[in-house]
Amino acid sequence: MNSLALSIDGLTVSFGAFKAIDNLSLTLDYGEIRAIIGPNGAGKTTLLDVITGKSSPRTGRVTLSGAGDLLAKSEPEIALSGVGRKFQKPSIFEALTVRENLRLATRARERSIFGEMVRHLEEREEEKIDSVLDTIDMVDADRRRAGELSHGQKQWLEIGMLLIQEPKVLLLDEPVAGMSDDETERTAALVKALRGPERALVVVEHDMSFVEEIADLVTVLHEGRLLVQGDMATVKSDPRVIEVYLGR
Amino acid sequence: MFDQLFSPPGSATRPAPPVAPLALLLAFLGLASILSGWTGIGPSPYFLNLIGQVAAFGMLAISLDLIWGYAGVLSLGHGLYFAIGGYLIAMHMVKVSYLLTSTPPDFMLFMGWDELPGYYAGLEWFPYTLLLIITISALVAFIFGFISFRSRVSGVYFAIISQALVYVAMLLFFRNDTGFGGNNGMTGFTEILGQPLGERATIAGLTGASLLAAAMALAVASRVVRSRYGHMLMAIRDDEPRLRFLGYETLWLKLGVWTLSAVIAAIAGMLYVPQVGIVNPRVLSPELSIEIAVWVAIGGRGTLVGAFLGAVLITTAKFILTAIAPDLWPFILSLLVLVVVVALPNGLFGSGETLRTRISQLATRRAARQAEGART
Amino acid sequence: MHRFHRAPLVFLAVCLALCTAGAATAETPLRRATLEQLCEKSVGPRVEAVDRLLTATAAGEEDASWTFAILDAARSKGLHCGKDAVPLLKLEDGWRDAASLAPAEPPEQKMKPPFVNLKVRASLDMGAALSALLAAPGSAAAESGLGEIEKRPDRANSAVIAAATALSENAPFVDRLGSIQASLDLASEVPEDRIAAIDRIAENPSERNRTALLNLQAELGGKADPVTRDALDNAIAEIDGWIALGAVASTVYSGLSYASILFMASLGLAVIFGLMGVINLAQGEFIMIGAYATYAVQEALRAIAPGLLDWYLLIAIPIAFLITAGVGCAVEASVIRHLYRRPLMTLLATWAISLFLINSVQAIFGTQNLEFATPAFLGGGERLIADFIVTWNRLFAILFAALVFVAALLVLNRTQLGMYIRAVTENRDMAGCIGVSPRRVDLISFGIGSGLAGLAGLALSPIYNVNPTMGTNFIVDAFMIVVLGGVGNLYGTLIAALGVGMINVVIEPLYGAVAAKVIVLLLIIAVIQLRPEGLFAVKGRR
Ligand SMILES: Nc1ncnc2c1ncn2[C@@H]1O[C@H](COP(=O)(O)OP(=O)(O)O)[C@@H](O)[C@H]1O
Ligand SMILES: [Mg+2]
């Protein structure tokens, strides 16, 4: 339960004179589900951007166990070393069918991109797609074009694509934003099912009841700095958290 | 297998037209044209020549559709690769004529040169010329693509930079001291592969070659877009960052199809120039490059058949209309583009909405806007 | 620049002649001999007659206005000769007796002007210009005559120049006469005079004076005394320095004016690109429409208020702006709006619009270049350094662009509209949430962006050719500026426009237009390697 998955050390990200993340240090363990909350503009998305290679920080280090320093790698390399990310707005390939989306997500790590271009999927991989379709409850939709799916289904499909990749660290940015209560509940179940001894899960969310339901540990960010960290009950009763959410 | 290769993916509102029938038809017409050249039976050389030219343009449209329709990268400078093929084959024919007749080409006289510049060496040999056409177009495309894609230049930026490139190339080729004929270009070719140009059999042969090449291009392109690689390309078009975060270095994916597209365009240029008997810097004009995109947009981006038919439709209409009403053609073309672009985003032959559904869509959107306007 | 306005001159000269010349002086031997010789066919006697007449005029032996009238008529084929007939002048208002300038009956026999070859023509032109100095000192006529003489000062008649200097009261005029005299003195045999002339000429550096000194140097060869030789060397070195400086200044100046046009054209492009992610391929045609609107204003003024014709450029400012802005708004509302979030299709659509506009204008106005009158206040310029002349038409373009820049800054930073534009550029959805209608902002800014292109068309109409396809000459440069300058930053656009304008103007004379474009393209490729969003882009969220 407490072997280290990802560690972030002294991270600072600035846009011009503005520091979106300010000397942030954070660790993630395998097997946990971590929620990161904080008011808008706290720097949550920016943090995920840095981990996945989309932005580069001014100072600091990000290390993934077994893969070393992530900051030196490109976005695809980071993905291949086991970091998966769901974007804030649903990101899928609309012109392709659900199954084709999942087939693309099947990216054999040991293969070069050129090898990947020409190969056919193995039996085993097709079976895995079937099982993921089952997990995200979209078996019937597998021949539909992804562009025709509902908002909730698109979110699940994107999560399904990440599941195929079996990431060591899975980052979900606001997975239930814009979902109905029913969909939110199903998503919560899905996220809980994703937990595994080989995986650390990070969920950025605003929906507190959702966070309460899934998270082991909650990290509160405020103005790019770590404000409080602890379980939900502790965090909820912390006066500083109440102040940043309600105060001023 | 064959079925899987050529059938459209997914279920669109209207399926994309299948490639196989068109490819087979083109191949059949190509063989028929060659046969007609041997037997002397069949349409007039003029008509055959027109068909050949249109086929070359169709091939050019396929090449652009590969990168724009599938990978979402719009080039407004594809005339560059067409010109590479066209100029190299022209140099080949100039060299052959010169060796045969020892009449120097006009530009040599004009510049007062006694012999052809050094880079004409070996160009009298067709296989070498073909090799050069493929390698040079691929190399130029690779370098330009690498520079642009590596720094994530895409969309409108890429389109206008590719256009600037073709424009600069045009200015360069307008110069007289480059050995490419300058302003007047190169013309006065006598033969190709030992066949005298201007004879019906040669014309029919060239037309046949163009039709066969177009069929080949369709088959190759279709093979590519139906493959796993083709799906990667469509994924780039729909959401490139998503694909990158799934572990694909999209730079190589884009470079691959970009280079392939450039080579197809160059071969189209190689087939085109002997048929019109001249090449000059106007093939590098931004207008031609934009027109290629117009064919594809009108025919249907993202469907190979649509792109090909778009080129056929527009270039045929242009041949006819510039002959009978030259002043009218630009107006017709511009209005056609506007109508297609606004009302038929998938083109005339594309998949997806038909004109009727699109119009009703526009109407409901307008109504919604008005309702919104009333509220605020 | 110094146009020799012939018609008013003739009128003036004739007037003077009629007022001052009595019938008694009409038939002097000098006049008879002059006219006889001017009517001859061969070159020698005619040139000789001009020289003699000028010398006599300078000495006060002949009336300057007569001299001018005759020489001016002779050079414009107004002097008619016939066998055994009295020579006549055919002027705009009828026939006159050449000797007396009194009105005369049209000739009964066949009379025609003697053939004027190049040599005679040069002699007559110079003679007319010289005599204008004496006929009406200080007048505009004398002024333009002086301009003519300054083109070939070494051909001037020394006596006339001396007489004109004595007559003239205007200091700059005397100064210019002095320079002409100095050019003549270069040929002097007296070393002191020659050195004085050399020094004098060095004070007024120009390509022409440099050539004059070089000629002298070549002519003297080794024969010259050391003092003269030194004086010559120094003078030439000094002139060379000034000429080099003047050439640099000239280049910078025309670079600035080209950059001004480009700036106005790309400003609109950049604002629209920042706002909607749309590149308007018809921007060049909006420039063209601005120029045609300016032309329309000029023609309208010519028809209804010729008195205001000189001010057409200023009057056209609001009109050119509004017309192009109107076309732009129409384009936005009918086409661009439907292509929201499909920027690549917008490229094709705006290309179609540009094709349509070019061909429409061609159908209405034809393909030829439009003729623009140069308003008096834009004609000419001021010679600053050597051959560097600050021409008013280019200065107009530069100042105009500077004004537009300031206005754009004010609008963007100080007005509500500007705030909306910045808000939508930064975050379209958010701006929508706080009650700014992005659609309306799009429409207005597209209109403004087009209007700016229209102003560019106005500003370039006195400098560049105006025809239906003119826009294509500017559009590629304008793209490059937008790519280089980045979006959403006025200063970026300004600096990129200056850069591209300068590169074009500096490189073009050295290595040709192609090299200039190649360099700009390479620059862009280098820039996008380092900063894909352009040199000066405001980093925004995407
Ligand atoms: N590319 C960028 N350029 C400028 N500012 C940025 C950029 N990305 C993020 N920011 C700023 O950084 C801060 C943190 O943003 P973000 O990480 O998206 O917050 P959150 O996801 O917690 O709501 C915000 O104030 C945002 O405006
Ligand atoms: Mg966020």
| Chains A, B: CB pairs < 8 Å | 98
Candidate from A52, A84, A119 with C-beta closest to B228: A119
Structure tokens of A207?
């929906």
Taking Cα atoms as reference points, which of B145, B147, B144, B173 lies closest to residue B84? Answer: B173
Mean local confidence (pLDDT), C411-428: 84
| C171 plus C250 within the same structural domain | no
A53 neighbors A45 (Cβ within 8 angstroms): no
Give the chain B residue nearest A166 (alpha carbons). Answer: B246
A21-30, A227-236, C384-393: segment of lowest average pLDDT: C384-393
Candidate from B9, B242, B247 with C-beta closest to A92: B242
- Which of C477, C528, C531 to probe the B interface (max B CBs under 10 A)? C528
| C158 plus C277 within the same structural domain | no
Class of domain B19-327: mainly alpha
Q: pLDDT grade, residue B239 (50/70/90)?
A: very high
A213-227, B304-318, C418-432: segment of lowest average pLDDT: C418-432
C298 neighbors C457 (Cβ within 8 angstroms): no
- Residue C6 confidence (pLDDT) above 60: no
C537 lies in some domain: no
Tens of pLDDT, residues B125-147: 999 999 999 999 999 999 999 99
Contacts of A119 in chain B (CB under 8 A): 228
Residue C206 DSSP SS3: coil
Confidence at residue B135, expressed as pLDDT on a 0 to 100 scale? 98
| C162 plus C253 within the same structural domain | no
Q: pLDDT grade, residue B370 (50/70/90)?
A: low
Tens of pLDDT, residues C469-480: 999 888 888 888
Residue A222 DSSP SS3: strand
Confidence at residue C486, expressed as pLDDT on a 0 to 100 scale? 78
DSSP A97: B
| Higher pLDDT among residues C426 and A221, named by residue | A221
Output the CA torsion sign for B204, B205, B210, B214. positive
C208 lies in some domain: no
Mean local confidence (pLDDT), C451-457: 93
| Higher pLDDT among residues B45 and B364, named by residue | B45
| C296 plus C169 within the same structural domain | no
C197 lies in some domain: no
Interval between CA C421 and ligand 1 midpoint (Å): 21
Choosing from C130, C149, C184, the residue where a domain stops is C184
Confidence at residue C462, expressed as pLDDT on a 0 to 100 scale? 87
pTM: 0.81
Q: pLDDT grade, residue B14 (50/70/90)?
A: low
Q: pLDDT grade, residue C542 (50/70/90)?
A: very low
Tens of pLDDT, residues A89-105: 889 999 999 999 999 99
Rounded to 5 degrees, what angle do the CA atoms B161, B165, B171 make? 140
ipTM, interface predicted TM-score of the complex: 0.93
Question: In b/e form, how buried is each residue of C484-496, taking b as 16+ CB within 10 angstroms?
Answer: bbbbbbbebbbbb
Q: pLDDT grade, residue B6 (50/70/90)?
A: very low
Residues C180, C208: Cα–Cα separation, whole Å: 12
C299 neighbors C440 (Cβ within 8 angstroms): no
Residue C59 DSSP SS3: coil
C238 lies in some domain: no
Confidence at residue C28, expressed as pLDDT on a 0 to 100 scale? 82
Using the Cβ of B165 and the Cβ atoms of chain C, whether some distance falls under 8 Å is answered with: yes
C503 lies in some domain: yes
C502 lies in some domain: yes
8 Å CB contact of C352 and B337: yes
Does ligand 1 lie within 6 Å of residue A45's CB atom? Answer: yes
Does ligand 1 lie within 6 Å of residue A76's CB atom? Answer: no
Average pLDDT, chain A: 90
B275-279, B285-289, C235-239: segment of lowest average pLDDT: C235-239
Tens of pLDDT, residues C155-164: 888 888 888 8
**Count of domains in chain C?**
2
Chains touching B by CB (3 or more pairs below 8 Å): A, C
- Residue C12 confidence (pLDDT) above 90: no
Q: Which atom of ligand 1 is nearest to the CA of A44?
A: 22
The domain of C259 spans 246-530
Indicate the top mutation candidate among A13, A44, A46 to test ligand 1's pocket, ranked by most ligand atoms within 8 A of CB. Answer: A46
**H or E, element range at A25:** strand A18-29
| C286 plus C419 within the same structural domain | yes
Mean local confidence (pLDDT), C79-103: 82
C26 neighbors C99 (Cβ within 8 angstroms): yes
Confidence at residue B9, expressed as pLDDT on a 0 to 100 scale? 40
Taking Cα atoms as reference points, which of B249, B242, B284, B334 lies closest to residue B82? Answer: B284
Among the ranges A57-61, A138-142, B77-81, B337-341, which has the highest mean pLDDT value? B77-81
Choosing from C184, C208, C224, the residue where a domain stops is C184
Confidence at residue B354, expressed as pLDDT on a 0 to 100 scale? 54
Minimal C-alpha gap between B232 and chain A (Å): 7
Structure tokens of B55?
């086929």
Contacts of B297 in chain C (CB under 8 A): 345, 348
CATH number where C300 lies: 1.10.3470
Minimal C-alpha gap between B23 and chain A (Å): 23
**What SS3 string covers chain B?**
CHHHHHCCCCCCCCCCCCHHHHHHHHHHHHHHHHHHHHHCCCCCHHHHHHHHHHHHHHHHHHHHHHHHHHCCCCCCCCHHHHHHHHHHHHHHHHHHHHHHHCCCCHHHHHHCCCCCCHHHCCCCCHHHHHHHHHHHHHHHHHHHHHHHHHCCCCHHHHHHHHHHHHHHHHHHHHCHHHCCCHHHCEECCCEECCEECCCHHHHHHHHHHHHHHHHHHHHHHHHHHHCHHHHHHHHHHHHHHHHHCCCCCHHHHHHHHHHHHHHHHHHHHHHHHHHHCEECHHHHCHHHHHHHHHHHHHHCCCCHHHHHHHHHHHHHHHHHHHHHCCCCHHHHHHHHHHHHHHHCCCCCCCCCCCHHHHHHHHHHHHHHHHHHHHHC
Q: Which atom of ligand 1 is nearest to the CA of A43?
A: 17
B342 neighbors B3 (Cβ within 8 angstroms): no
CA atoms within 13 A on the CB side of C135: 35
- Residue A1 confidence (pLDDT) above 50: no
Q: pLDDT grade, residue C380 (50/70/90)?
A: confident
| C179 plus C252 within the same structural domain | no
Confidence at residue C4, expressed as pLDDT on a 0 to 100 scale? 45
C228 lies in some domain: no
Residues C270, C412: Cα–Cα separation, whole Å: 13
Mean local confidence (pLDDT), C190-200: 81
| C170 plus C272 within the same structural domain | no
Average pLDDT, chain C: 83
